[in-house]
Amino acid sequence: MLSLDVSQLQSFLPDGALAHYEDRLRQASEWINTHTGPGGDYTGWIHYPKEFDTQEFDRIQAAAKKIQQQSQVLVVVGIGGSYLGARAVIELIQSPNYNLKKKDTPDIFFAGNGMSTDALLETIALIGDRDFSVNVISKSGTTTEPAVAFRIFKEMLEKKYGKEGARERIYAITDRSKGALKGLADAEGYEEFVVPDAIGGRFSVLTPVGLLPIAVAGVNIQALMEGAKLAMEELAAPGMDNPVWKYAAARQALYDQGKKIELLVGYEPSFRFFAEWWKQLYGESQGKENKGLFPASVEFTADLHSMGQYIQEGERLMFETVVQFAPRGEIIIPDDPDNVDGLNYLSGKSLSYVAQKAMHGVILAHVSGGVPNIRIQMPQISEHSVGYLIYFFELACGLSGHLLQINPFNQPGVEAYKNNMYALLGKPGYEGLRAQLEAKL
């Protein structure tokens, strides 16, 4: 299913560099699989593709069908891991232009992932007078951005449908037993799904957190989970022949040699939000204790005309991980009798052939310019291949975090901005901090 090519690292790493990490990877793998290492309480994702709650899975599919029949729009309210995974899968499989396509499934808008008044007003305008439902996703229910957005959309639903009608159009994905959203959902009678206790938000795309909106978009979530299950089985084998071990080792070896940035490279515009999901996964998991590669992304060939100069000749801080999918269709380049553009040497060739040669040319140029390259080759984009790739990156992230000797499954630094924001907004209990911050401002 997945092929990992590290041949272009040969000029950057000494012989045996990857094997140097084998013992540490063996320990990391054992920690993750037995839930015993640092952050082990949040490694429930490791066996989830075969241990998920099938009854809840059936309820997700039933709820998705109800939303499809009842609504022309679904508003997904969440931030970070509560929306990035769902958007990544929908755009990669269905299209970044999903809402513009003719289809028999609802448009899907994502809200509560920022503080922009203009963006929220635009979403409200795009909904217009159409029938809509809301999927609110929050373990606590008190994170400011989604909580504010949900308050607004809840009021809209209640004004449009009444309190009883709104209740039938709100789907809460939250904690199993506690939190503000859990309490509200219980009190109001919303249909509820569980954010698993042992799975952190950035690892939650294959749980109800991601699966409900993904299913509403018409994606076959059964096939998505089957792809992840195949990855779980194939990537469980210990040893450096395992591509996930090899990828984790390559990242660490390059980091130990002074690389500071990993560029995730995609050649499909639909890959953009998958890269955004990947950036949260790796940035929040590994950016701790003044350690970790900075995760960034580019879209080729478009970004070769903007970022290409820096990648080729700027500071040698980075390496690239290229994700390539086989095309789902084909386009043949036509002949032009006048050959005005001088491209008749490409006549009769497929666009995918040209793209393949362009990718190889880019890799060779960047490697010669001092940018190491790792290549991940995938079959065509499908539920099966995307489920597999999600699991691959999640496992590699956990292994890489342990190679860094940090806890990959917490995020203590996220609270700093939240506390400052709460204080400046006047949240009760933050009065002392507010005075300190206002003095600095």
Residues designated catalytic: 284, 305, 418
Question: Which residues on adjacent β-strands are paired with residue 296?
Answer: 263
Provide the 10 A C-beta neighbour count for residue 166.
Answer: 21
Task: Write the burial class of residue 333 (CB in 10 Å: 0-12 exposed, 13-18 middle, 19+ buried).
Answer: middle
Distances (CA, A) of 252 to 235, 286, 295, 414: 19, 12, 13, 24
Query: 228: which DSSP letter?
Result: H
Can you tell me the distance from the alpha carbon of 195 to that of 176, in angstroms, rounded to the nearest whole number? 7
Is the Cβ–Cβ distance between 321 and 374 less than 8 Å?
Answer: yes
Residue-wise over 110-144: b if at least 16 C-beta within 10 A, else e?
Answer: bbbbeeeeeebeebeeebeeeebbbbbbbbebebe
Can you tell me the distance from the alpha carbon of 41 to that of 409, in angstroms, rounded to the nearest whole number? 9
* Start-to-end CA span in the chain (Å): 54
One-letter identity of residue 125: A
State the residue for tokens 């990855």.
Answer: 231
Can you tell me the distance from the alpha carbon of 58 to that of 56, in angstroms, rounded to the nearest whole number? 5
Q: State which H helix or E strand residue 352 sits in.
A: helix 351-368
Can you tell me the distance from the alpha carbon of 258 to that of 254, in angstroms, rounded to the nearest whole number? 7
302: left (phi over 0), alpha (psi -120 to 50) or beta: alpha
Residue of 210, 204, 165, 145 whose CA lies nearest to 383? 210
Residue of 189, 185, 188 whose CA lies nearest to 141? 185
Strands (E), 123-252: 132-137, 170-174, 191-194
Can you tell me the distance from the alpha carbon of 136 to that of 174, in angstroms, rounded to the nearest whole number? 8
State the residue for tokens 């990648």.
Answer: 311
Query: 235: which DSSP letter?
Result: T
